[in-house]
A and B are shown apart, each in its own frame.
Chain A
């Protein structure tokens, strides 16, 4: 008998009335043994996180969980609330995404990691600190002793996530559940965390990995379960899933992963997008030039002597890890930040040197699509008001607004029905579409996209990327695309610059740079990229 046996798991979230009930998981069964990793993959709303939470008895007060979950022969779903407390942390460790918010921001790392040990009284009080240092060292935190007093916000994303994993390991549980453990991290750190989790598996932990991204779990999982709308549509070994997917949805998920081989194709339909028809109309002129730009914060140069040219109608990818200076560079291009020295010129005219009052009439030319549209919108505004604000700023006649609103929504694949919604009532993908519509309302020539899809799951990301490329073709837009994800950059960009520690370390056509990288840092980035096994049916 396996360590964890899940049989016919059903999760139902009770609404106000019977019709509002949501069947989140339907008839899910799987087993997981020590030293094994099972991955559950699916988009948001597929029931994967509900499953993870049900396994620790925390699906929520309004959740009706039925079926059987047995851990080392003990039926968990029949446990009393009190007995559950003894299981959590002690028999099952749980790792959430984004340790910045998954660790208590007001408590020191040392105390957070010690909490499980103290709660279950696993060690005498005077031995706790030594054990915490040991755990932090075990997850790869150097000089753990000095980190005990640090708070989550004082650590880098990678160290934070390691500390979170240490806290899940502290009760020495046999089963570790990791719910999107790398989603908030850049590729390099993601690779490190996956390696760490792999080490846990080797050490004999049973690992249940939850992710929206097949590529992330490819190297770690022994078995993969693909979930959609609460049902396991397919399960099997990675080789089976990747080389011979049986289910249409699995195939769509695989096709949605952007990479070099998906260039020029739609990620949703898989069909060729057709060559750009408008290319002939756009003169191939430099539309934006950055010349020797330096921007320092304190003593650190976030952007250090960067020069680049963006040609009209192209997509320039800017790629680099967190802290490489790519967002600061994007802000310089937006004219939101002035370089300490060097210059930015727009269509051959001064841009960075302008006084804000002179720049304002030109601002519509360069528009931003940011990572998290939830915080880029006023949550009280309806979509209608969000668009109207842009239309008013652009100076359009009020009488033309309603027509323009509809045209904008249509161009991003939304409809009139969305006008009355507020950001909270939209899905992540829909919000990003509204953000793009708002940017388009200004009739920009350049769209600066700063990690526009890194908060979205793979399927939604595919739709948004398709939309951006479609708009680029139809409107002849120039796109500056900032991302930490090489696969995404490879898919969308014509040219790419690789940034590291504020400098451009490599630059060129995307096929050349990523096929034969010359710089060590580019090679490291490429190596960290999660890869699908060879022979993937796409």
Chain B
């Protein structure tokens, strides 16, 4: 019951965030000094006044501003994000056609980073030895190196030096390996640092000592007790990164020439294709709101102390 009520408020708050994102995006675009008609027809072509009026009427641009806004919000609610100025396809179909590729990339990258971080944490938490120093240094490299640079290095070695993986494009699983590795390595450092810090703290707690007095090995205490404590902050970071990747793995997609949301966003901004930009803004707001709600629910699964408070 408490959970249902909590969920309801969270959904309501989520809707408010989406509405705010939509309104803000609408206002910003009104302030841009570009002429939609020029965008639709291309900068070079000359447009007669009659054609201009017709286009304006087609896209609803002749309406007063509040009407445009109301129409925009109304259509958005029904899931209609409008039509691209450039591609003459609905924004929804543009996003969904590119979405699968991005989701695959983001999910695999987060999964890779998470697995590496869990292994690194289990191997090094609560210890002070050479392995910990090596892994800590690797994390530092991961955190401080920009993703595109990691991508370029991987390409240099695994596509050009030893042509194991394709350089660009979308050719099945082989072309996924390097982009996933790029993003996974970039995320791994932060995730692993946070998890180990948390696990170090958990291992200092009296319950870890209690577990050891039951005859558990240090490894078993990490695996059976401390790991769950380390999951709490890791969940936050992984979820936020997943959201950020969905909406904007722009650079990585660009480096590896992959299709995806990043690419269409870049195109849309460059071409001032306003409906697509708005669509992407709304889509990423939607993704973040959804992920936040899911993560909040997951916290309760991991940490029973949070269930009581709701």
Contacts and interface: CB of A to CB of B under 8 A. Distances in A.
A151 interface: yes
A179 to B, nearest CB: 9
B71 to A, nearest CB: 48
A94 interface: yes
Interface in A79-95: 85-90, 92-94
A341 to B, nearest CB: 27
Nearest to B205: A101
Given A85-B216, A153-B308, 6 more contacts: A86-B215, A94-B209, A102-B206, A102-B207, A103-B207, A154-B308
A101 B216 CA distance: 18
Contacts of A171: 214-215
B210 A94 contact: yes
A89 B209 contact: no
Count class of interface residues, chain A: 20 to 34
B207 A115 contact: no
B213 interface: yes
A107 interface: yes
Contact of B213 (A93, A103, A104): A93
B54 to A, nearest CB: 64
A277 B278 CA distance: 79
B210 A105 contact: no
B10 interface: no
Contacts of A94: 209-210, 213
A479 to B, nearest CB: 33
B205 A92 contact: no
A164 interface: yes
Interface stretch (B34-42, B151-159, B179-187, B298-306): B298-306
A106 interface: yes
Nearest to A151: B304
B216 A167 contact: no
Contacts of B211: 104, 115
Interface string B203-235: 001110111111111001000110011000000
Given A58-B209, A167-B210, A105 B215 contact: no
A119 B214 contact: yes
A120 interface: yes
Contacts of B206: 96-98, 101-102
Contacts of A107: 225, 228
B215 A88 contact: yes
A97 B225 CA distance: 19
Which of A88, A90, A168 has the largest count of B CB atoms less than 10 A from its CB? A88
Contacts of A90: 215
11 contacts: A88-B212, A104-B225, A105-B303, A106-B229, A106-B302, A106-B303, A119-B214, A119-B220, A151-B305, A153-B305, A153-B308
A105 B205 CA distance: 11
A24 B302 CA distance: 39
A120 B215 contact: yes
Which of B215, B224, B225, B228 has the largest count of A CB atoms less than 10 A from its CB? B215
A499 interface: no
A432 interface: no
A164 to B, nearest CB: 7
Given A101-B207, A151-B304, A153-B308, A89 B228 contact: no
Nearest to B302: A106
A86 B213 CA distance: 10
Interface of A: 53, 56, 58, 85-90, 92-94, 96-98, 101-107, 115-116, 119-120, 151, 153-154, 164, 167-168, 171
Contact of B215 (A106, A116, A154): A116
B217 A85 contact: yes
B306 to A, nearest CB: 10
A86 B205 CA distance: 22
Contacts of A116: 214-215
A104 B228 CA distance: 10
A194 to B, nearest CB: 20
B308 A119 contact: no
A58 B205 CA distance: 14
Nearest to A118: B214
A434 to B, nearest CB: 24
Nearest to A113: B214
Contacts of A164: 210
B207 A87 contact: no
A340 B12 CA distance: 32
Contact of B214 (A88, A98, A105, A154): A88
Contacts of B214: 88-89, 115-116, 119, 167, 171
B228 to A, nearest CB: 5
B305 A119 contact: no
Contacts of B303: 105-106
A120 B228 CA distance: 23
Given A102-B206, A153-B308, A168 B213 contact: yes
Nearest to A108: B304
Contacts of A98: 206
Contacts of B228: 106-107
Given A151-B304, A151-B305, A153-B308, A105 B213 contact: no
A90 B209 CA distance: 15
Given A104-B225, A105-B207, A119 B304 contact: no
Nearest to A97: B206
A101 B211 CA distance: 12
A147 B226 CA distance: 23
A89 B212 CA distance: 8
Given A102-B207, A104-B225, A89 B305 contact: no
A510 to B, nearest CB: 36
Interface string B286-310: 0000000000000000111100100
A107 B215 CA distance: 17
Interface in B209-263: 209-217, 220, 224-225, 228-229
A115 B224 CA distance: 10
A162 to B, nearest CB: 14
A92 B213 contact: yes
A490 B210 CA distance: 36
Contacts of B210: 94, 96, 102-104, 164, 167
Contacts of B308: 153-154
Contacts of B220: 119
B260 to A, nearest CB: 37
A373 B213 CA distance: 30
A89 B215 contact: yes
A96 B207 CA distance: 9
B300 to A, nearest CB: 12
Nearest to B227: A106
Q: Lowest 3 CB-CB distances: which A-B pairs, in order? A: A94-B213, A89-B215, A89-B214
Contact of A88 (B213, B229, B302): B213
Nearest to B221: A104
B222 to A, nearest CB: 12
A65 to B, nearest CB: 16
A85 B215 CA distance: 4
A96 B212 CA distance: 12
A88 B217 CA distance: 10
Nearest to B126: A61
